[in-house]
């Protein structure tokens, strides 16, 4: 006959093998309870404590981000590589100059704009069909819940700073296009050409290759073979229109070629509990002029509530803005999810509808505990906080569709 300790070890082994499902747990407990109560007369209450305490502890540690805060103040943002200069600039502004959380986000995003991080932030990157670079940016105060943003901003380099001017000098949330440029100039920003020699050359090469890839569908002439100009095709029935799956294929081509895009950043101040978030990007390369992505959309590109936490996103913005993944992640944390599980939940919501979507979410709570999730690519994020001497970059493999 097995000893009591042996039986309990056996119980733990069986329970662990079924731990992922409540059905399995129920079967394991029923079997073990019956066996032990007959053999050694152990009461159900003491047995329950013995076999549940270990697995429940293990389960709480799985897929969790509890206890991984580096301390405050803290800055966390999408991507490593070129983007860690932004992490460092924002963090050092908090610890050396007493900057606010809003200041830190503006400084961090402005660093990437000036450095043209990966060619996907700031001037001279991602030209549209007309070879013009336009900028999207958003900044949000986690205490007041007020945000300011600019979309399709033309001829002004300082997109994140113009977004902050919208936040601080208007009661609006977003300004767009040429009139956003007028606002920027009236607030002291300088108008200048955002095209560089490199962006002009890349645009000419794209045109020489038949304008491939592009974002046109249901038009004539065939956008897979022609640069246009295009006219809409009138559908005779629903089956003649491009399917949702077909609509995503140009996005997949663009991401596979160009890689990273968008800086989305969250800053946590060391005192007072203040938080801020922001996003800056030059959007989708070869986009149709006038296109606005998820970057300047509050709740999509980024979102923050100082009572709960914040989120930054990157990826296929035309799809992601349909789900407001950062708003979803913060609200999931409000309901008790860890940052890691909140990130995974938000990404899986998109995967269920768009299995090929490329996305990356970084999520942090008000204590600095953080997590991330991705789909369609290996995502990275960077963070620095507390007494850290340098920025750490975390690699996040893509989730599998479930």
Q: Among 392, 331, 311, 325, which residue's Cα sits nearest to residue 357?
A: 325
Whether the CB-CB separation of 375 and 398 falls below 8 Å is answered with yes
| Cα→Cα distances 208→198, 212, 270, 278, Å | 15, 9, 52, 36
**Is 378 known to be catalytic?**
no
Hey, what's the torsion of the CAs at 381, 115, 303, 398, to 10 degrees? -30
| Cα→Cα distances 346→85, 119, 160, 277, 313, Å | 28, 27, 25, 18, 11
| Cα→Cα distances 25→11, 51, 55, 57, 62, Å | 11, 11, 10, 15, 17
Q: Beta strands 174-176 and 147-154: pairing type? A: parallel
Per-residue tokens: 114: 């000036």
Residues 6+ apart with CB under 8 A from 287: 126, 128, 129, 215
Considering 87, 111, 248, 262, which one is annotated as catalytic? 262
**How many Å apart are CA 265 and CA 117, to the nearest integer?**
14
- Given phi > 0 = left and psi -120 to 50 = alpha, else beta, which region is 211? left
Alpha carbon 293 to its chain centroid, in Å, reads: 13
Active site amino acids: 262
């Amino acid at each position: 006959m097995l000893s009591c300790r042996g039986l309990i070890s056996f119980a733990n082994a069986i329970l662990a093998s079924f731990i992922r499902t409540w059905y399995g747990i129920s079967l394991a407990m029923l079997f073990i309870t019956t066996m032990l109560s007959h053999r050694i007369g152990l009461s159900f209450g003491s047995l329950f404590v013995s076999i549940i305490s270990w697995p429940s502890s293990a389960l709480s540690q799985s897929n969790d981000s509890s206890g991984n805060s580096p301390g405050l103040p803290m800055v966390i943002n999408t991507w490593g590589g070129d983007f860690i200069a932004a992490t460092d600039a924002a963090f050092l502004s908090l610890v050396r100059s007493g900057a606010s959380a809003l200041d830190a986000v503006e400084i961090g995003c402005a660093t990437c704009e000036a450095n043209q991080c990966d060619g996907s932030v700031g001037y001279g990157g991602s030209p549209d069909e007309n070879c013009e670079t336009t900028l999207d940016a958003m900044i949000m105060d986690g205490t007041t819940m007020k945000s300011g943003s600019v979309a399709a901003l033309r001829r002004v380099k300082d997109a994140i700073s113009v977004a902050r001017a919208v936040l601080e000098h208007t009661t609006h949330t977003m300004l767009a296009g040429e009139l956003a440029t007028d606002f920027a100039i009236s607030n002291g920003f300088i108008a200048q050409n955002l095209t560089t020699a490199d962006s002009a050359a890349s645009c000419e090469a794209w045109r020489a290759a038949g304008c491939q890839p592009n974002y046109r569908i249901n038009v004539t002439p065939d956008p897979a073979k022609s640069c246009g100009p295009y006219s809409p095709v009138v559908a005779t029935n629903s089956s003649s229109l491009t399917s949702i799956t077909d609509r995503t294929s140009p996005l997949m081509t663009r991401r596979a070629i160009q890689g990273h895009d968008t800086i989305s950043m969250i800053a946590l101040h060391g005192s007072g509990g203040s938080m801020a978030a922001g996003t800056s990007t030059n959007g989708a390369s070869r986009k149709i002029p006038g296109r606005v992505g998820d970057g300047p959309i509050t709740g999509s590109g980024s979102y923050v509530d100082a009572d709960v936490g914040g989120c930054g996103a990157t990826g296929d913005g035309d799809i992601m803005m349909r789900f407001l993944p950062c708003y979803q992640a913060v609200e999931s944390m409000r309901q008790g999810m860890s940052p890691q599980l909140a990130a995974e939940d938000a990404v899986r919501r998109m995967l269920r509808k768009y299995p090929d979507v490329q996305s990356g979410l970084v999520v942090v709570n008000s204590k600095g505990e953080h997590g991330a999730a991705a789909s369609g690519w290996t995502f990275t994020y960077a963070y620095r906080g507390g007494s850290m001497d340098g920025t750490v970059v975390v690699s996040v493999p893509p989730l599998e569709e479930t």
